[in-house]
Amino acid sequence: MEASERAAQIWSVLAWAATNRQVLTYKILGKLIGVPARGLGHLLEPIQSYCLVHDLPPLTILVVSEDDGLPSSGFTAAQDIPRNQLAVFQFNWLERGTPSPEDLAAAVAQRPSRPVATSGPAVPLVD
């Protein structure tokens, strides 16, 4: 399953959490979707990018660390966490609907949220 497909599933979980004015820890979200908490960053990126591209409240702000109750360093969509969490809670996510995996992937291509991996110069393969 591609990251954008998994992100579409996560979107639904976060939309439901927002409707109920809840935040989720990385650990809880990981358990809900069957992914280790440490593997969530690349799955949350399509959602963060989509929200930025479409000028929506930052839905991924609802995923926080157990330690300090804040999003991880990969969250770059907003600075004022309490104010933006409130904006997410007030938005009607269920009416908005879930974007398609293709739309989420396109948002990442348009506005990546994570550093793009770079490699050195291409080295030709020798037979």
Q: Mean pLDDT of residues grouped by 10 in the chain (127 residues)?
A: 92 97 96 91 94 96 92 85 96 95 95 61 39
Q: What is the pLDDT of residue 47?
A: 96
**Rounded Cα gap, residues 58 and 75, in angstroms:** 9
CB atoms under 10 Å from CB of 53, counted, come to 16
Q: What is the pLDDT of residue 82?
A: 93
Q: What is the pLDDT of residue 115?
A: 58
Residue 74: exposed, middle, or buried by beta-carbon count in 10 A (0-12, 13-18, 19+)? middle
pTM: 0.85
Q: What is the pLDDT of residue 113?
A: 77
Q: What is the pLDDT of residue 121?
A: 44
Strands 24-25 and 63-64: what pairing? Answer: parallel
For the chain, domain boundaries: 3-110
| Token pair recorded at residue 11 | 């979107």
* Residue 104 one-letter amino acid: L
Q: What is the pLDDT of residue 116?
A: 54
